[in-house]
Structure 1
Amino acid sequence: MPRRLLVLLLGLCVTAGCGATASGGSTPREAGPPPEASARAVEPAEAARAFELLDRLDRAWRERDCPAIEELTTWAENTLGGRACEATRNGRPAPARKRYTDAEFFLPATVGADRWFVALARRPVPAYFLFVHGGDDWRLAAGPIPVRGEPREPAGGAVPADDPGTGVEARLAPQRYLTYLTDPAGVSGVTFPKKDAARELFDELVQRPRKVRPDRLASDVRLLVGPERALLLPGGGALVIHALEIEHRQRAGPGRTSLRHPIYGEEVLRGFTGKGRAAGLTGTEIVLLVTEVSGGAKLSTVAARSSLADLTTG
């Protein structure tokens, strides 16, 4: 079957958007090579204080305090706190949030105003967090991103932007996810290990249109523009934090006035739109990813989380 026809049948289309470490309360690990004169590392105590904003953020979600969520977040988490927070005021349950502790901080040297760090919390389950300084205070950019399998511990330093090897592969990692998820025929050559989260997401995109018949479903996959970050791994390679945006458009089949198999439940639909039924809906999901890039441009998903950011009817 021609690839163009196969892509249309699957309903997939693409819009290309295209150091030191420390443990909370413990002694910092041995620092890497001295940073450039213009670079400055986040101090362990500063990172520990920034990590504490998670308690304030959890309280804001419990209280449906959308302005506080807006203030405490940026990038992906800010997107997930907009319409999604408003929906909790309309009856949608607030996200269940765990209290994360036993954090280890990976503190790369940064240049100028670009200050950021990654935290790996061990309890209650391992999860990554990305914090970015917004000019006046720290904000959560991504997290929690639950670990699948064993967590990877960076060597501490950020991947140099001008690195001709690891730097290039780290920058290409998000685009390779995009290529993989929008290539049903598999001609691109991008692959992931068995049981990888990327494979599961691909299977979901392929199978969902079949499962909702006679409804019609099409999906766009694109990169979420923002502060993608990469840290060096011991022995080579990189750990990359990035995100995808997936838009699902579901419409009722011919002759029908409402969806037969809506991909989102009535409670979710009512929270976002005030309606329990619809002839069509458009949902936007954010997929947060932590990816290991190893020798030979091999990719594997270390951590992943998918959340609904917006839902409209029509």
Structure 2
Amino acid sequence: MFRRLTALGLGLVLLAGCGTEGLRETPADPGETPLATVEITMADAQEAFDGLGDLADAWKDRDCAQIQQLTTGAEGAIASGVCAAARDGYAAPAFQAYHDPEFLLPRREDGENGAWFAVLARKPQPAYFVFVWEDGRWRLGAGPILLVGKAPAMDGAVLDAEAVPDAAVAARVAPTRHVAFLTDPSGVDGAGVSGVRLASGDPMRRLLVELVRAPGRARPDRLTTDVRIEGPARALALPAGGALVFHALRVVFTQKPGSGRSSLAHPRYRAADVRAFTGGAATTVTGGEIVVLATKVAKDTTMTTIGMRRVLADIRKGSG
């Protein structure tokens, strides 16, 4: 059977948030398999992309409830902490309006629950967005992911990487290989024990250098770092093999005073920001920074960072 997202149903669900069914079923033709296929029309995608204006207004008004309704995944994780902190004085970055979109609409064959699509918006600066169908509406799952490399060409049919065996393997390795790379101090010189190799100009190489050097720069404070996978990855199969993977990492910094001290000598976060997130001062703080990525994984599993955005998502008292 085929299911199609209707522009009318999408508009009602996305903008009004009320109980209109946004996915329709039509009977399968005789002889077809009963596997569900999701088709997203250009009108559907445009309507969802235009809904970013509502999200920009919600951020401007610090309407945290509305922001949570319009986001999920990495963006939902960012919003859950940042919006409340912004109400208490944190200078959250403004959500810009984007236009000149190129829609990347993958077909899936496992039902509407996994429906998603990507957009490469060219202006005001090139950035990827990922939209996810969840709880009867389109939500922003990731974006803007600012382009830092050359966007790969998506000639021909756009396919979810899960539908292409080689691309599916490439898609699954990106988040775990990034964690392995960023937690391997010996990788600073490009030859770490993790076995992950990235080009010298790749932004993830610079992030690794920062993580390795951070504890030394914080002394006499004691600072530890950790890297975790944040939410699911979604990927498009590339025509030449491999995949373009959209995923996120959470980089966690925990800082506490050095021996014999009662305060931080080199606080990583400003006192005003700590107050905005925690409601007061703190001796030991833990900050979570989310790095949202678009990663090209070639057929030979070589990885290249295509897009990247890094956001302070939360600050907490203590080392929890």
Q: Do the structures match in fold with TM over 0.5?
A: yes
Q: Cα distance, 1:198 vs. partner?
A: 1.0
> What amino acid is aligned across from residue 254 of structure 1 in structure 2?
S
Q: Cα distance, 1:118 vs. partner?
A: 0.2
Aligned Cα RMSD in Å?
1.7
Tell me what 1:143 maps to.
Answer: 143
Tell me what 2:132 maps to.
Answer: 132
Tell me what 1:120 maps to.
Answer: 120
Secondary structure (helix, strand or coil) at the match of 2:185 reads: coil
Q: Cα distance, 1:80 vs. partner?
A: 0.5
Secondary structure (helix, strand or coil) at the match of 1:207 reads: helix
- Change over 3 Å in CA distance of 1:80–1:121 after alignment to 2: same
Q: Cα distance, 1:180 vs. partner?
A: 0.7
Query: TM-score, normalised to structure 2's length?
Result: 0.83
TM alignment of 1:292-303, pairs within 5 A: 292-303=296-307
TM alignment of 1:202-281, pairs within 5 A: 202-226=208-232, 228-275=233-280, 277-281=281-285
In the alignment, is the contact (CA less than 8 A) between 2:166 and 2:299 conserved in 1? Answer: no
> What amino acid is aligned across from residue 49 of structure 1 in structure 2?
E
Tell me what 1:168 maps to.
Answer: 169
Q: Cα distance, 1:125 vs. partner?
A: 0.4
Structure 1 gap segments, 5+ residues each? 1-34
In structure 2, what is the Cα distance between the partners aligned to 1:166 and 1:94? 36
- Whichever structure has more helix as a proportion of its residues is 2
Q: Cα distance, 1:310 vs. partner?
A: 1.2
Secondary structure (helix, strand or coil) at the match of 2:162 reads: coil
Q: Cα distance, 1:184 vs. partner?
A: 1.6
Structure 2 gap segments, 5+ residues each? 1-31, 187-191
Q: How many pairs are equivalent?
A: 278
Q: Cα distance, 1:153 vs. partner?
A: 3.4
Find 1:192's aligned residue among 194, 198, 203. Answer: 198
Q: Cα distance, 1:162 vs. partner?
A: 6.1
In structure 1, what is the Cα distance between the partners aligned to 2:263 and 2:87? 25
In structure 2, what is the Cα distance between the partners aligned to 1:262 and 1:53? 39
In structure 1, what is the Cα distance between the partners aligned to 2:286 and 2:231? 20
In the alignment, is the contact (CA less than 8 A) between 1:133 and 1:139 conserved in 2? Answer: yes
Q: Cα distance, 1:291 vs. partner?
A: 0.4
In the alignment, is the contact (CA less than 8 A) between 1:127 and 1:144 conserved in 2? Answer: yes
**Per-residue CA distance 1:225-258 (angstroms, 9 max, x = gap):** 32x1111223222100011112111001112111
In structure 2, what is the Cα distance between the partners aligned to 1:194 and 1:268? 33
In the alignment, is the contact (CA less than 8 A) between 1:259 and 1:278 conserved in 2? Answer: no
Identity among equivalent positions (%) equals 44
Tell me what 1:201 maps to.
Answer: 207
Query: TM-score, normalised to structure 1's length?
Result: 0.84
Greater RCO between the two (CA within 8 Å, min separation 6)?
1
Q: Which moved more, 1:213-222 or 1:232-241?
A: 232-241
Find 1:87's aligned residue among 77, 85, 88. Answer: 85
Q: Cα distance, 1:160 vs. partner?
A: 4.4
In the alignment, is the contact (CA less than 8 A) between 1:241 and 1:289 conserved in 2? Answer: yes
In the alignment, is the contact (CA less than 8 A) between 2:167 and 2:238 conserved in 1? Answer: no
Tell me what 1:178 maps to.
Answer: 179
In structure 2, what is the Cα distance between the partners aligned to 1:159 and 1:97? 28
Q: Cα distance, 1:278 vs. partner?
A: 2.8
In the alignment, is the contact (CA less than 8 A) between 1:126 and 1:151 conserved in 2? Answer: no
In structure 1, what is the Cα distance between the partners aligned to 2:99 and 2:105? 18
> What amino acid is aligned across from residue 54 of structure 1 in structure 2?
L
> What amino acid is aligned across from residue 57 of structure 1 in structure 2?
L
Tell me what 1:62 maps to.
Answer: 60
Secondary structure (helix, strand or coil) at the match of 1:79 reads: helix
